[in-house]
Amino acid sequence: MQTYDVGVIGAGAAGLMCAIEAARRGRRTLVLDHSEAAGEKIRISGGGRCNFTNLHTRKDAFLSENPSFAISALKRFPPSAFIERVEGRGIAWHEKALGQLFCDGSAKQIVDMLLENLAAAGGELRLATEVKGVRALAEGGFQLDLAAGPVRCQALVVATGAKSIPKMGATGFAYQLAEQFGLRVVPTRPGLVPFTLDPSQLAWSGALSGVSLPVRARAANGPAFEEALLFTHRGLSGPAMLQISSYWREGEAVEIDLLPGEDAFAWLKAERAARGRQGVASVLSERLPKRLAQAVTEREAMASNLADLSDKRLTVLAEALNRWRLKPVGSEGYRTAEVTVGGVATGELDPRSFAARKVPGLHFIGEAVDVTGWLGGYNFQWAWSSGWCAGQAA
């Protein structure tokens, strides 16, 4: 039977980073993944250019029962450390809005870098290999049951991700394994996912499919995000909606400011005084996409000139612009969710090694853990940081 010092289940961002670090320490390391290719979520991310980190990574950009859990890992392996590796590899990158870093070329460059680093360090990778079972050994370590026969490892790192994007092979394997070993799992839900609306709402918004604009949006218990909203044939998407979806719970309303930074009532009142003969839709189209301006005007029954609107009516229109409230019927679910919120409870893990406190030698990293980042490179940075930390200890 083959025996390894470190076994890593999952050849994604966190798993590869962990395996590289463990192998560089001289640990005989094996990475297993049921997929045909490694790093597939890396390859498709960022429109194929991989939003590999964010310059503004900080603890308040992560959702968790205990956001402070992330601090140690993010400090020990910060964005600058991964950027150094990218530049050392000669991979050109650029910064987009809000500190988001992308490859100039293909995301495959990041995958290739990780795979070559793993090979150079002496790590072994086995793809298209399903782990059918895991058990702890009385003498220490773990046995992994594979189709080709069992293998053993002294330390086991679970980096299988979560439930988001099942077409990429995502499963709840990490949670099942955690529960098998008596670890608590925080209930999971889709995050960074478009909202769906009910038929009555779609009767109005569905005609706006393809319309996009900058907004300020927030869910009931989350921060506000100033990014783009996109109307779709199913509901609402775009970065602003994806961000607040991670905080949203079923049955809650969301609030959207269609004119961020603008006091809609003051602006409308000034416009009424200056050019009251202008139609409401015509005036709104100077600040909103034309189709949306017309739709808002019709929805609020404001199809008249500004001069015809009293202050009371202007207030109603201003509320519709600055504080549009609606209740999504749901989300598009794990099928299109970029991340999974929840996971292995942080209280079960050591924040420096990611080792389970109750099970010596067992580690959980990356998206499997109850730490979920905002849109914009934060989740990749969490993968690099948690993987690096586990790789120093496993």
Residues 159, 344: contact at Cβ < 8 Å? no
For residues 73 and 283, give the distance between their C-alpha atoms in angstroms, rounded to a whole number: 51
The pTM (predicted TM-score) of the whole model is 0.95
Give the pLDDT of residue 206. 87
What is the token pair recorded at 280?
């409401």
Parallel/antiparallel/unpaired status of strands 142-146 and 131-136: antiparallel
Report the range of poorest mean pLDDT among 23-32, 104-113, 297-306, 361-370.
Answer: 297-306
For residues 385 and 377, give the distance between their C-alpha atoms in angstroms, rounded to a whole number: 12
Band of residue 168 on the pLDDT scale cut at 50, 70, 90: low
Band of residue 302 on the pLDDT scale cut at 50, 70, 90: confident
Residues 346, 296: contact at Cβ < 8 Å? no
Handedness of CA 357, 358, 363, 365 (dihedral sign): negative
Residues 66, 345: contact at Cβ < 8 Å? no
* % pLDDT > 90, the chain: 92
Say yes or no to pLDDT of 162 above 90: no
| Domain at 194-331: CATH code | 2.40.30.10
Give the pLDDT of residue 1. 84
User: What is the average per-residue pLDDT within 121-144?
Assistant: 97
Cβ neighbours of residue 316 closer than 8 Å, sequence gap 6 or more = 300
pLDDT, tens only, 343-379: 999 999 999 999 999 999 999 999 999 999 999 999 9
Q: Is residue 16 packed enough to be buried (19+ CB in 10 Å), middle (13-18) or exposed (0-12)?
A: buried
Give the pLDDT of residue 68. 95
Q: Is pLDDT larger for residue 207 or for residue 164? A: 207
* % pLDDT > 70, the chain: 99
Stated as kind and residue range, the H or E segment containing 258 is: none
What is the token pair recorded at 176?
């099942």
Q: Domain ranges for the chain, please list them.
A: 2-190+339-393, 194-331
Q: Which residue has the tokens 């077409």?
A: 167
Say yes or no to pLDDT of 71 above 80: yes
pLDDT, tens only, 205-257: 989 999 999 999 999 989 999 999 999 999 999 999 999 999 999 999 999 99
Say yes or no to pLDDT of 165 above 90: no
| Domain at 2-190+339-393: CATH code | 3.50.50.60
User: What is the average per-residue pLDDT within 138-145?
Assistant: 96
Say yes or no to pLDDT of 169 above 90: no
Pick from 30, 35, 41: nearest CA to 5: 30
Q: What mean pLDDT, rounded, does the chain reach?
A: 95
Say yes or no to pLDDT of 80 above 90: yes
For residues 383 and 17, give the distance between their C-alpha atoms in angstroms, rounded to a whole number: 8
pLDDT, tens only, 34-61: 999 999 999 999 999 999 999 999 999 9
Give the pLDDT of residue 182. 98
